[in-house]
Structure 1
């Protein structure tokens, strides 16, 4: 194999690597566009008891005690599940801080 052959192969490899990089960038852009169209914004997702307790910085037991004793803590029952809207938790926490 001559030096010219080696350079030719190296050039083809460089071209293919650039092409891969361009394709990768295009694929990433398409994936981001798709994710933005299909993903539910984080503020719209309901939180379960564990996530809500963690967000409020309390234990699950404390959160259940608050559910029984504080009518200002809004929640949603879906079957046996207790769920929370993030905005309701924010409002609840803001009321606690304000009082």
Structure 2
């Protein structure tokens, strides 16, 4: 009689093996997902929130500067109007002085 050698069962024929591999893949994927969220997503989210706060502060400062610039423009316009008025008055005085000089000094 001959010896019958039987090969070990194929891994693909054992359904428990499929479930084990699926469980391992699922667990590794979950660990990788948690790692990505903890080490990559959370720091980026924190940085984005910090950047948003800083941009809000900058926006507030820009608004303040805009108000100051507008008030400076108004003040400059007022000064220009006053300078034009003063220049007009000076021209009038100069004209009167010239007329007075013509009357008093040319007659002598």
TM-score by length of 2: 0.36
Larger Cα-atom Rg: 2
TM-score by length of 1: 0.39
> Which of the pair has the greater relative contact order for Cα pairs under 8 Å at 6+ separation?
1
Question: Which structure dedicates a bigger proportion of its chain to strand?
Answer: 1
Question: Which structure dedicates a bigger proportion of its chain to helix?
Answer: 2
